[in-house]
Structure 1
Amino acid sequence: MTAVTTQFEIKPVTTPADQAAFLAVPDRVYQGDANWVKPLTSSIEKQFRPDNPFFSYGELQQFVAFSQGQPIGRIVAAINQRLIEREGQQVGLFGFFECINDAAIATALLDTACQWLRDRDMPLARGPIDLSTHNNCFFLVDGFDTPPMVMMPYNPPYYDDLMRLAGWHKAKDAYAYDLPLAQSLPSQFERACQIAEKAGITFRPLHTKGEAFEQDCRSLYQLFTTAFAHNWSSSARTEAEFMQEARELQQLVDPDVFVIAEDQGQMIGFFMGLPDYNIPLKQVNGRLNWLGILKFLWYRRQIDRGRVIAICALPAYRRKMVPLALVYLGMKGGTKKQKPYKQAELSWVFEDNLPSRKIIEASGAHITKTYRIYEKAL
């Protein structure tokens, strides 16, 4: 661990200048890191605006560490009442953590967040979770040799050391799997598709326009809510929140890798793939102004990989081989002759989600990245 500085102070964010300093920290932390993809600044800013639905069921406080007037670290302490209600225990969160390689500063930031949570009677802290696991969460702890896929976290390798030195312990790991698309899926996946179709299951691409898109998204929301209701550390979203997120992604969807499964017209499963838009986003430096948009449109032509975000089927349809059928059709859609995809990442999957891991590993995919969430008793 490298000691970078000896004098610093930690301040709560209370002014626009403080907020600007908070947003500037990553530029210092990731300077010279070739794999880092700067998030859109607007996507971070909006999470702290008063109109964020989070504030109807939660509270937060941002903090920034300064040395000689320069921002060198940041953290957010948060309480998500929906998570507390779902888990039946008082648990606070930290997120948006970034810090230079200095254990004293990192520990002070974490302790400041913990004290804020302790003052609100939280006996347990967990993170990194940016308000909700539907947002950014996890620290990368293994697999730093390649850039992150779209909507996946990335951080310097020393963050795990910072957490352990500050007294935090692993709560749960998750994995990202890599699947080169030059290799064919094992024959069992195609057979699964045939079995599902004989059982009356039909498959189609996601609708991407108009009312058909809106209806598909409402059905997706119901499936998400049902299938992932008991995911660890997950808090429920309202339909309005889900629809807002879906509309933000609408123009980015490739329907060939977003497959819907239906039984008599009712959605019962889906395969959610997304092109790796981190490739063009890396070129825009966090801002989609007119120049950023031009760069994004130019570099999106270089996208040659995608991320599989979720594979979902209602429990009653798993015996009808719907999950394997969805994998087969999603991968088939991504390897059409006119498609550019050479690689798929299936991420993220909790280490104890053995049914999903079994399906993924049967495809020939292998673990390339490991992510971690930590806890600490207060």
Structure 2
Amino acid sequence: MAAHAQGPVSIIPVRTKTDKREFVELAFRLNRGDPAWVPPLRSEAFDLLTPGKNPWFEHGRAQLFLARRDGRTVGRISAHIDELALAQPAGQGMGPGTGNWGLLEAEDEGIAQALLARAEAWLRDQGMTRSLGPLSISIWDEPGLLVEGFDTPPTIMLGHNSALYRPWVEGAGYRPVKTLLNYKVPIADGFPPIVNRIVAAGEKNERIRIRRVDKRRFDAEARLIMGILNDAWSDNWGFVPLTDSEIAFVGKKLKALVFEDLIRVAELDGEPVAFMIVLPNINELLIDMDGSLLPFGWARLLWWLRKPKSRTLRVPLMGVVKKLQNSRMASTLAFMMIEFIRRDGVATYGAEYGDIGWVLDDNQGMIAVARAIEATENRVYRIYDKVLA
């Protein structure tokens, strides 16, 4: 990143559409030279930040800031507060007094620390006593600062940032509070024999049914899956429940990427108790589109969506209802869903790798599943906090 150390830096709140456009465009300018950065679609970047578009704003409020020097925009940050996060138990990572920051981009360390200080001041003015981040904007979007795995592009729904940011954030007095792990696993040749034995035994168990989702019943299936998710993840660090409108928003955003053979629901004695969502990695397409579907991006995207070929398949979400967690049945269901989707992913989509995460560093059950299928860590994210004196 080029340093332009001329005049003083001023931090201004985003007020106008022009300001918001500068906020979005800065990420493109600062990251364009990074071959591992995947430009988001600008329309989605704007929607994330816009009340009325992103239902997070129904229970959250945010202030965006720009850093300017000599008439140029040289940095950005968001400061935000989620009322649902404030209502969570303090021992679970969020809780009363905890505000957030995210979407940090800066040309140099001085700018980054000035932005962090301004975000902290806003949070303090709102009555917050702790600053936790980065979250962009919710825990369900792109949480954490990338601290390992800078050399390869992220898959869909994972963030990417400059390696410079970690020392800048830590230099501003932030300490790590949670590590998020992402795993990569070769899938073309199948999994180790022990996994295959567990799957084979599960297939003979008449109590178990692993079914594909029915896209004709998309809204009902989305509600079912997110209901399991809200139960399965409710004790996890950082958990904030998804609202009905957020579930509908995510469903609408991902509907084009939903393929029935890549999403499974596990039923035990006729009751839905687990799910696994797998998405083709559209980032393989977006990395060359510079955030725009014009002039020919629409055609490329629509052609790809008709029958996507995806070298990597991404597992952003899976869950087992709380009452089954840490049981042998939970492991069986997880391995069955993973294997059934692996078979279709290789045969239909030409997939060679699975990408799983993020996984909390204390989620022993999921880490054990990852190790059993011989997955290896390929990206590590970290969430930090700081007491606001």
Q: TM class by shorter-chain length?
A: over 0.9
Question: What SS is found at the alignment partner of 2:87?
Answer: helix
- Tell me, yes or no, if structure 1 residue 332 matches structure 2 residue 336: no
Matched-pair contact (CA < 8 Å) for 1:76–1:96:
yes
Question: What SS is found at the alignment partner of 1:204?
Answer: strand
2:315 is aligned to 308
- Tell me, yes or no, if structure 1 residue 160 matches structure 2 residue 163: no
Distance (whole Å) between structure 2 residues aligned to residue 77 and residue 311 of structure 1: 29
Distance (whole Å) between structure 2 residues aligned to residue 257 and residue 299 of structure 1: 16
- For residues 362-373 of structure 1, the aligned pairs below 5 Å read 362-373=372-383
2:71 is aligned to 69
Q: Summarize the Cα distance change of 1:2–1:287 in structure 2 as closer, same or farther, 3 Å threshold.
A: closer
Q: Which residue of the other structure, out of 228, 249, 259, is the alignment partner of 2:264? A: 259
Question: What SS is found at the alignment partner of 2:336?
Answer: helix
Q: Which residue of the other structure, out of 165, 174, 179, is the alignment partner of 1:173? A: 179
- The CA deviation at 1:222 is 1.0
Distance (whole Å) between structure 2 residues aligned to residue 271 and residue 50 of structure 1: 30
Question: What SS is found at the alignment partner of 2:382?
Answer: strand
Question: What SS is found at the alignment partner of 2:350?
Answer: coil
Distance (whole Å) between structure 2 residues aligned to residue 118 and residue 316 of structure 1: 39
2:146 is aligned to 140
Q: Summarize the Cα distance change of 1:309–1:324 in structure 2 as closer, same or farther, 3 Å threshold.
A: same
Give the length in aligned residue pairs.
374
- For residues 30-179 of structure 1, the aligned pairs below 5 Å read 30-51=31-52, 52-87=54-89, 88-100=95-107, 102-179=108-185
- The CA deviation at 1:14 is 1.0
Matched-pair contact (CA < 8 Å) for 2:157–2:316:
no
After superposition, give the CA deviation of every residue in 1:125-165 in whole Å (9 maximum; x if it has no partner): 00010231111211111111111101100011111011111
Distance (whole Å) between structure 1 residues aligned to residue 246 and residue 304 of structure 2: 30
- The CA deviation at 1:117 is 0.5
2:328 is aligned to 319
- Tell me, yes or no, if structure 1 residue 342 matches structure 2 residue 352: yes
Matched-pair contact (CA < 8 Å) for 1:284–1:295:
no
Q: Which residue of the other structure, out of 179, 197, 209, is the alignment partner of 1:202? A: 209
- The CA deviation at 1:109 is 0.2
- The CA deviation at 1:283 is 2.4
1:89 partner letter: P
1:285 is aligned to 290
Q: Summarize the Cα distance change of 1:55–1:184 in structure 2 as closer, same or farther, 3 Å threshold.
A: closer
Matched-pair contact (CA < 8 Å) for 1:74–1:96:
yes
Distance (whole Å) between structure 1 residues aligned to residue 365 and residue 131 of structure 2: 29
| Ranges in structure 1 where 5+ consecutive residues have no aligned partner | none
Q: Summarize the Cα distance change of 1:142–1:195 in structure 2 as closer, same or farther, 3 Å threshold.
A: same
Q: Summarize the Cα distance change of 1:375–1:206 in structure 2 as closer, same or farther, 3 Å threshold.
A: same
Identity of aligned residues (%): 30
- The CA deviation at 1:365 is 0.5
RMSD (Å) for aligned C-alpha atoms: 1.9
- The CA deviation at 1:347 is 1.3
Distance (whole Å) between structure 2 residues aligned to residue 359 and residue 316 of structure 1: 18
Matched-pair contact (CA < 8 Å) for 2:81–2:100:
yes
After superposition, give the CA deviation of every residue in 1:16-53 in whole Å (9 maximum; x if it has no partner): 22112111111221121111111111112123323132
Matched-pair contact (CA < 8 Å) for 2:313–2:354:
yes
Question: What SS is found at the alignment partner of 1:86?
Answer: coil
Matched-pair contact (CA < 8 Å) for 1:179–1:365:
yes
2:5 is aligned to 5
1:5 partner letter: A
- The CA deviation at 1:302 is 5.3
1:59 partner letter: R
2:59 partner letter: Y
- Tell me, yes or no, if structure 1 residue 184 matches structure 2 residue 183: no
Matched-pair contact (CA < 8 Å) for 2:309–2:351:
no
Q: Which deviates more, 185-194 or 56-65?
A: 185-194
1:21 is aligned to 22
Question: What SS is found at the alignment partner of 2:215?
Answer: coil
Distance (whole Å) between structure 2 residues aligned to residue 299 and residue 156 of structure 1: 30
